[in-house]
Amino acid sequence: MTAPLLEVEDLDVHFPVFRGPLRRRAGTVRAVDGVSLRVMPGETLALVGESGCGKSTLGRAVLRLQEPSGGQVRFEGQDLLHLGKRDLKAARRRMRMVFQDPHASLNPRLRAAEIIGEAFTIHGCTRAERDAGVAELLTLVGLGPDFAQRFPHEFSGGQRQRLGIARALALHPSFVVCDEPVSALDVSVQAQIVNLLMELQERLGLSYLFISHDLHLVEFIADRVAVMYLGRIVETAPAAALFAGPLHPYTRALLAASPSIDPDRRAADAVIEGELPSPLNPPSGCAFHPRCPHATDQCRAEMPPLAALATGHDVRCWHAADWMAAAPARAEALG
């Protein structure tokens, strides 16, 4: 078995909260709390969850754009969290990010060539190398070298996101965090960008950590899926297994809430009610219990572990085994 490209262990990102006139520490927001995950070479791991669950923070922490407060991140065999300035800079050649908002993520004062070429300048390439690289990248993302001298405002939303992707791919990284790369785009453009990302993955052997809340998109693009709820991973499974038989009540509710044109996939569970609880003051026991239709006393008292139910299928639920057993029956009932 090959070694994972990225290995995250027990990662915490906690933010202290200060309140009142004396700015006393009022508590801690556990945006990411004890998350472990791994991404294999060439694989797409999708991270799904509703807004505020900590998926973007996790994506940033993995690249050390947000300093984690604890845990371990191993990338290409090196311990990312203990790298010095120089080694971190070298590691940034290999790992990148595509941002959600293609308007906010491009400096309005720089030309396309300067935006894409920045990585080359930072990592000490010559001018000739940079110019050649920029032209190559522009062609790679389907824009063409003619666009090099334009400013971001002269591009459409989809073109801007292509620019963002070209920037992320400069100097051949192996790992890209895609933080909702298409959710700010028109539906018609979304498909083009997703296809581009998949095509590039195949051509360049990239690994993606694909953050999204669009389950249809995830089903289409992901090899494996991790579902996040309130800073923790509640279920992780190969994409096919997850969509065929979701085990965590939250995952089931998510899938049920997502509109589908497939008549075989109807809402089996009640749609979840209520709001995401405050990560400043998380519920006792299982974080999902206040919204879970199946919650028992055990759920209210104790946090369930992330337990393996099948190969590569981990669920954080006390009753996961019951759902597993009930799954074929339910499928029959529906079928």
Binding residues for another protein, per CB under 8 A?
A: 60, 63, 65, 88-90, 92-93, 96-97, 99-101, 104-109, 118-119, 122-123, 164, 167, 170
The C-alpha atoms of residue 264 and residue 253 are separated, in whole angstroms, by 16
Q: Which is nearer to another protein, 63 or 196 (CB)?
A: 63
- Please tell me the total number of residues recorded for the chain in this structure: 335
Q: Which is nearer to another protein, 117 or 249 (CB)?
A: 117
Output the smallest distance, CB 104 to another protein, in A.
4
> Strand 95-98 to strand 78-79: parallel, antiparallel, or no bridges (unpaired)?
unpaired
Output the smallest distance, CB 35 to another protein, in A.
20
- With tokens 């008292």, the residue in question is 301
Task: Find the helix or strand (DSSP H, E) in which 79 lies.
Answer: strand 78-79
Output the smallest distance, CB 208 to another protein, in A.
15
Q: Which is nearer to another protein, 1 or 22 (CB)?
A: 22
- Residue 206 φ then ψ, to 5°: -80, 155
Output the smallest distance, CB 122 to another protein, in A.
5
> Strand 224-229 to strand 307-310: parallel, antiparallel, or no bridges (unpaired)?
unpaired
> Strand 175-179 to strand 95-98: parallel, antiparallel, or no bridges (unpaired)?
parallel
Output the smallest distance, CB 109 to another protein, in A.
4
Output the smallest distance, CB 107 to another protein, in A.
4
Nearest to 172 by CA among 99, 114, 131, 119: 119
**Which segments of 175-289 does DSSP mark as H helices, in order?**
187-204, 215-221, 239-244, 249-257
Q: Which is nearer to another protein, 148 or 233 (CB)?
A: 148
Q: Which is nearer to another protein, 119 or 230 (CB)?
A: 119
| Tokens read off for 90 | 């070298």
Output the smallest distance, CB 90 to another protein, in A.
8
CB 235, CB 315: distance < 8 Å: yes
Q: Which is nearer to another protein, 93 or 213 (CB)?
A: 93
Q: Which is nearer to another protein, 11 or 62 (CB)?
A: 62
**Which segments of 123-258 does DSSP mark as H helices, in order?**
127-140, 157-169, 187-204, 215-221, 239-244, 249-257
